[in-house]
């Protein structure tokens, strides 16, 4: 059964990220080659007009399932200028009732049309066969799975099914979750190591999720806990990293992607880059209270500078 996590520990210092960086002040294109931004509708025109030096842009797959229309036309135009990373939120890879065939068909069609550099979704469940319903119901949320052998087998089968349909490897992301299951055969990093080993997929490492989970878990040193999670992960499987802001105004810390990346998230990101020892595609997500485009670019520039500085120092053994 799911168990609630404890209330959050007090926050550390506020972020020191720059408020905005004009396009002309971004790092060199070579240094920005591994960073990208989540492309949202308010920034649609700014991206196409300014054409900043970004390594890629990422969009939510489900927003482009409709055949034709202005949204898909804009994405195809952007794909002529930037590599596209497709990030899904509805595959529900851990659902015991199986995958939605219609959803997988739409994703396959979008992949064929856009030719993305990466495709990702979450290690979660969201679909279930409920009494009185002829077909499974989607919960419209990312619900955590148990880290058990049974859950592992289910996840591996579904990841393999998606990869066979798309004819490419999938990246799977760990959740920000405020509940966990009592049943557990392994740690979360070990669970992801096993999925990657058995299914041949990769990991989307969300640094913000690690920090949020550590804070909601009530650990005394959330940065250290998040770094320890990364240390247990087989970092050779990491294909992309996500950064974002969170909201700590209530009893639980919420991964709302609605503010600047926090200092503790930058600290864990620096550790991740050092462990990886290679340039890694890194995305800045911003989905609520969306700021000016220059503010988003400023966060991407911060990630690029950290990568450049850390990688110039060498790899952490």
Of 7-21, 92-106, 303-317, the range with the lowest mean pLDDT is 7-21
Given a cut of 70, is residue 122 above it in pLDDT?
yes
Q: What pLDDT does 317 receive?
A: 52
Cα–Cα distance between 268 and 244 in angstroms, integer?
12
**Could you report the per-residue pLDDT of 10-32, keeping only the tens digit for each?**
233 333 344 455 554 677 777 78
Query: Could you tell me the residue ranges of all domains in the chain?
Result: 2-313
In this predicted structure, the answer to whether residue 129 has a pLDDT above a threshold of 90 is no
Name the least confident of 68-77, 120-129, 296-305: 120-129
Record the tokens describing residue 166, joined without a space: 């798309």
Average pLDDT estimate for 257-269: 96
Distances (CA, A) of 41 to 60, 86, 161, 294: 11, 15, 31, 15
Question: How many percent of the chain have pLDDT more than 70?
Answer: 90
| pLDDT of 295 higher than 60 | yes
Give the pLDDT score at 132. Answer: 80
What pLDDT is attached to residue 18?
42
Q: Which of 89-103, 187-201, 230-244 has the lowest mean pLDDT?
A: 89-103
Residue 130's pLDDT band (boundaries 50, 70, 90)? confident
Digit-coded pLDDT (tens) for 170-188: 999 999 887 777 899 999 9
For 47-57, write each residue's pLDDT tens digit.
999 999 999 99
294 touches 20 (CB < 8 A): yes
The answer to whether residue 68 scores a pLDDT higher than 90 is no
Lowest mean pLDDT among 8-12, 133-137, 281-285: 8-12
**What would the two tokens of residue 190 be?**
């070990």
pLDDT at 140: 64
Give 189-226 pLDDT, tens digit per residue.
Answer: 999 999 999 999 999 999 999 999 999 999 999 999 99
Closest CA to 298 of 14, 25, 13: 25
Residue located via tokens 């506020």: 14
Q: Which CATH number fits domain 2-313: 3.20.20.150, 3.40.630.30, 3.20.20.240, 1.10.3720.10?
A: 3.20.20.150
Residue 136 pLDDT class (50, 70, 90 cuts): confident
What value does the mean pLDDT of the chain take?
88
* Strand 137-143 to 125-128 pairing: antiparallel
Cα 218–chain centre separation: 23
Identify the pLDDT of residue 168. Answer: 97
């Amino acid at each position: 059964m799911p168990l609630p996590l404890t209330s959050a520990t007090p926050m550390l210092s506020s972020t020191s990220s720059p408020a905005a960086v004009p396009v002309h002040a971004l790092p060199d294109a070579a240094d920005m080659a591994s960073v990208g931004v989540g492309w949202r509708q308010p920034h649609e025109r700014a991206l196409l007009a300014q054409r900043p030096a970004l390594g890629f842009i990422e969009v939510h797959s489900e927003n482009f399932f409709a055949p034709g229309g202005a949204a898909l036309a804009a994405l195809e135009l952007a794909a002529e200028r930037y590599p596209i990373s497709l990030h899904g939120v509805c595959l529900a890879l851990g659902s015991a009732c199986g995958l939605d065939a219609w959803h997988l068909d739409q994703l396959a069609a979008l992949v064929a049309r856009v030719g993305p550099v990466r495709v990702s979704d979450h290690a979660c469940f969201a679909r279930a066969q409920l009494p009185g319903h002829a077909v499974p119901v989607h919960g419209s949320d990312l619900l955590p799975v148990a880290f058990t052998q049974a859950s592992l087998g289910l996840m591996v089968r579904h990841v393999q099914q998606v990869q066979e349909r798309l004819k490419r490897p999938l990246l799977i992301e760990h959740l920000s979750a405020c509940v966990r299951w009592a049943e557990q055969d392994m740690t979360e990093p070990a669970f992801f190591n096993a999925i990657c080993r058995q299914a041949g997929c990769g990991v989307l490492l969300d640094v913000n999720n690690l920090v949020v989970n550590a804070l909601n878990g009530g650990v005394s040193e959330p940065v250290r806990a998040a770094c320890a999670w990364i240390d247990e992960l087989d970092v050779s499987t990491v294909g992309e990293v996500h950064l974002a802001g969170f909201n700590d105004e209530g009893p639980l810390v919420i991964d709302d992607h609605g503010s600047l990346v926090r200092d503790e998230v930058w600290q864990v990101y620096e550790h991740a880059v050092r462990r990886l020892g290679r340039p890694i595609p890194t995305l800045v997500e911003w989905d609520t209270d969306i700021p000016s485009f220059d503010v988003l670019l400023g966060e991407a520039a911060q990630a690029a500078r950290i990568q450049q500085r850390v990688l110039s120092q060498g790899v952490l053994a």
